[in-house]
Amino acid sequence: MVGRKPPSRKGSMADVPKDLFAQIQRLEELFFVPGQKLKEITAHFKDELVKGLSKEGGSIPMNPTWCMGFPTGNETGTYLALDMGGTNLRVCEILLPEEKGEFDIIQSKYRMPEELKSGTADELWAYVADCLQQFIEYHHEGEDLDHLPLGFTFSYPATQEYIDHGILQTWTKGFDISGVEGKDIVPPFQAALAERGLPIKLSALINDTTGTLIASAYTDPEMKIGCIFGTGCNAAYMEDCGSIPKLEHMNLDPSLLMAINCEWGAFDNERVILPRTQYDIIIDKESPRPGQQIFEKMVAGLYLGEIFRLVLLDLHENPDVCIFENIDVSKLKKPYTLDSSFLSAIEEDPFENLTEVEELFQKTLSIDTTKPERELVRRLAELIGTRAARLSSCGVAAICLKKGYKSCHVGADGSVFNKYPHFKARGAQALREILDWPKEVRKDPVDIRAAEDGSGVGAALIAALTLKRVQEGQVAGIRDPEAMLKGTSAAGGNKQEVVVPK
Ligand code: BGC
């Protein structure tokens, strides 16, 4: 299998006319990334991870998070967690009980209105605070809450000098809210909470990947990397402080561990190694932040449907190709009409004549398809999904090579990982090719598996770890240790008791 294209449906191409067949072959050449190329990408990726940690920096931000070390499984207390994702906003209350590795969670989900993503900062923070307020009123009406500690999962690249601080480097995932980039997001967020009189104390601002890493490590000591393969794509891992030259001035104990939020979506922003197609170039150009998140734009869920749409439109407009002849393709002309679930559905069609694909095209795009056209779209979905999985594995392999991990568990979450057909198997196959595991190795040494809930349990655990650290007098990366403990009933010791709602 090494370096060969993935198999397409046997015999199904027999009735595909020459022009479409030639296009299928062209698309295979364009989108398939052979094993050798994956290895080259991985080697460069590893160098870029190292560069990101250096004083000079590189295109991958490698953000220090001030989440220091793994959980023990003995963390306790009650916490709030807020997750501002690309699609939903989730508020959770998490109880970490005395039993090792256990948790209880209650949660509410709120839709992130599309207009908010390109609105103003005030509207954003007002919406977030309103959701928190609704949650508190519903679950704790009339109770006298004593500064509940909050872990806020803010899944965008942020520079953190402290764990309860974060300067947004750039919006990603199509967000474009003015007046937020380059500023600490915590003060306006806290101001919105204060305006509503909410008794909440931000203990930790975290990334979804760091949350995923910590939540998964809570129950699995072999867990070394946390990944999100969803609307966006990224990973976090633990680094020893001695290997973070850009923090040298802080004189941290070199043996301490700190989670690094890689923000690997920015890999190859300088465009030297990724095999970009004309379609990837258009996606980038038309995005709110051209030149940024170049890797993410090839692999993340937000973009897969759009790549697919651009290819189909290009074929339709090509005079040498007969596809969707004499059909109104106006719906296909609308940017971002198709999301990655459309591709998932195409890949999941179990029928030989692809009747589900036929219905999908009629329902979503008002396009009647012929069987050969459906064969092409099916192959195209496979190629785009396969490329995303294979390139994503380069990032995982690069971290393993950087850290010298011969075997470990990688916790993964996100809609693409959980819902896109064959993503896991394709990613695992790519890892085998990149890391050259001998054929006789039965169990993959680096195992990418479904993670625990990072932005709920992970955020709570990081808040707990932070408070415990402050109680023990380890205050690196804590802006105001006294203020952080004030109002919490944390008493120190291993089994701390942090603010339980009365
Ligand atoms: C963001 C990351 C995040 C990832 C997955 C990217 O667009 O920049 O911070 O971890 O999406 O949600």
Per-residue pLDDT of the chain (502 residues; tens, 9 = 90+): 445 566 666 567 888 999 999 999 999 999 999 999 999 999 999 999 999 999 999 999 999 999 999 999 999 999 999 999 878 899 999 999 999 999 999 999 999 999 999 999 999 999 999 999 999 999 988 887 777 899 999 999 999 999 999 999 999 999 999 999 999 999 999 999 999 999 898 999 999 999 999 999 999 999 999 999 999 999 999 999 999 999 999 999 999 999 999 999 999 999 999 999 999 999 999 999 999 999 999 999 999 999 999 999 999 999 999 999 999 999 999 999 999 999 999 999 999 999 999 999 999 999 999 999 999 999 999 999 999 999 999 999 999 999 999 999 999 999 999 999 999 999 999 999 999 999 888 899 999 999 989 999 999 999 999 999 999 999 999 999 998 887 654 323 333 333 333 2
CATH of the domain spanning 68-206+453-485, picked from 3.30.450.40, 3.40.50.300, 3.30.420.40, 1.10.760.10? 3.30.420.40
The finding on whether 151 has its CB within 6 A of some atom of ligand 1 is no
Cα of 158 vs its chain's centroid, Å: 14
The finding on whether 83 has its CB within 6 A of some atom of ligand 1 is no
Amino acid in the structure at residue 205? L
Q: Where are the domains of the chain?
A: 1-65+221-436, 68-206+453-485
pTM exceeds 0.85 for this model: yes
Token representation of residue 233: 């794509």
* Gap from CA of 19 to ligand 1 centroid (Å): 40
Q: Which of 263, 293, 453 to mutate to test the pocket of ligand 1 (most atoms within 8 A of CB)?
A: 263
C-alpha distances out from residue 469 to 81, 95, 294, Å: 19, 19, 37
Ligand 1 atom with the smallest distance to the CA of 85 is 12
The finding on whether 385 has its CB within 6 A of some atom of ligand 1 is no
β-bridge mates for residue 151, sequence order = 81, 204
* Gap from CA of 344 to ligand 1 centroid (Å): 21
β-bridge mates for residue 159, sequence order = 167
Ligand 1 atom with the smallest distance to the CA of 156 is 9
* Gap from CA of 154 to ligand 1 centroid (Å): 9
* Gap from CA of 213 to ligand 1 centroid (Å): 14
The residue contributing the CA closest to ligand 1 atom 7 is 232
- Give me the sign of the Cα torsion angle 491, 497, 499, 501: negative
Ligand 1 atom with the smallest distance to the CA of 232 is 11
pLDDT at 485: 83
- Calpha distance 85→77 (Å, rounded): 25
The finding on whether 207 has its CB within 6 A of some atom of ligand 1 is yes
Ligand 1 atom with the smallest distance to the CA of 158 is 9
Check if 1-65+221-436 and 68-206+453-485 are the same fold: no
Kindly report the number of other CB atoms within 10 A of residue 285's CB atom: 9
27 contacts: CB under 8 Å, gap ≥ 6: 311, 379, 380, 383
The residue contributing the CA closest to ligand 1 atom 12 is 232
The residue contributing the CA closest to ligand 1 atom 6 is 232
Determine contact, residues 462/454, Cβ cutoff 8 Å.
Answer: no
pLDDT at 5: 67
Token representation of residue 470: 């402050």
pLDDT at 492: 31
- Calpha distance 246→496 (Å, rounded): 33
Kindly report the number of other CB atoms within 10 A of residue 260's CB atom: 28
The finding on whether 413 has its CB within 6 A of some atom of ligand 1 is no
* 91 SS3 class: strand
C-alpha distances out from residue 38 to 51, 401, 415, Å: 20, 14, 23
The finding on whether 395 has its CB within 6 A of some atom of ligand 1 is no
Nearest to 213 by CA among 451, 467, 431: 451
β-bridge mates for residue 79, sequence order = 94
The residue contributing the CA closest to ligand 1 atom 1 is 156
pLDDT at 488: 58
* 224 SS3 class: strand
Ligand 1 atom with the smallest distance to the CA of 236 is 10
pLDDT at 147: 79
* Gap from CA of 300 to ligand 1 centroid (Å): 9
* 144 SS3 class: coil
β-bridge mates for residue 110, sequence order = 89
In the CATH hierarchy, which fold is given to the domain comprising 1-65+221-436?
Hexokinase; domain 1 (3.40.367)
Determine contact, residues 332/310, Cβ cutoff 8 Å.
Answer: no
Amino acid in the structure at residue 329? V
The finding on whether 234 has its CB within 6 A of some atom of ligand 1 is yes
pLDDT at 31: 98
Kindly report the number of other CB atoms within 10 A of residue 22's CB atom: 13
Amino acid in the structure at residue 429? Q
Amino acid in the structure at residue 490? A
The finding on whether 455 has its CB within 6 A of some atom of ligand 1 is no
Ligand 1 atom with the smallest distance to the CA of 209 is 10
The finding on whether 228 has its CB within 6 A of some atom of ligand 1 is yes
71 contacts: CB under 8 Å, gap ≥ 6: 214, 217, 218, 461, 464, 465
